[in-house]
Amino acid sequence: METNRFVICVLVGLAGFTNGLSDYCESDPCQNDGICENFLEKYHCYCNSKYYGNNCEFYNNQCDGENPCMNGGTCKTVEGRDYYCECPLNVDGLHCEDDYCLIHEPCQNGGTCYSYPNDGYYCNCPSGHNGFHGPNCETPLNYYCVEINDPCRNGGTCNSYPNGYTYCTCPGGYYGPNCEFH
């Protein structure tokens, strides 16, 4: 019978009742609203999600250490453990993971892509004599000169604007809309 009584005492002690054993939780060792539970020769603190450590003494800041934000996002702490990512322009998502331009690379011929958060992108096309235009910089600026027959005379160079208008750059000694005068 004494063996059964001993077993019952140990089982009750394991369940958190001291039954004459030391109460390690009496001094309230768990900080920051941690919950203390007695064991045979020690205690254990169950910490809430904002704290960690043997006594829940360390603040758990998600922005400390490795930055959870991607693509240049900045981690900002909110009320303890919670955080949010402050994303740079043209990037979106919980962790700044959505950058349309980086994922799809839609701009052609040296165009620079700018993502619009939550709504597509814009291609900034290279300009100049050999530039391009169009939603994805897919059309050469001089497309209209080639496709519509070169209107420039006497060695003039045809140039076109993105809207389709053309103009001629005339060699020395020539002038006029199509370099037709000398």
Most confident of 36-50, 59-73, 111-125: 36-50
pLDDT of 45:
94
Question: How do residues 118-129 score in pLDDT, each as one tens digit?
Answer: 567 889 987 765
The more confidently predicted of residues 41 and 37 is 37
- Distance CA(96)–CA(84), nearest Å, equals 10
pLDDT of 2:
45
Supply the pTM of this predicted model. Answer: 0.38
- C-alpha distances (whole Å) from 82 to each of 45, 91, 133, 161 are 21, 21, 45, 52
- Distance CA(9)–CA(89), nearest Å, equals 65
Contact 96, 88 (CB under 8 A): yes
∠ CA 137-120-135, rounded to 5°: 20
Q: What stretch of H or E contains 147? A: helix 143-147
Res 9 pLDDT > 80: no
Question: How do residues 156-182 score in pLDDT, each as one tens digit?
Answer: 988 877 666 788 899 999 999 999 999
121 burial level (CB within 10 Å; 0-12, 13-18, 19+): middle
- Distance CA(17)–CA(9), nearest Å, equals 9
Q: What is the mean pLDDT of the chain?
A: 78
CA atoms within 13 A on the CB side of 90: 14
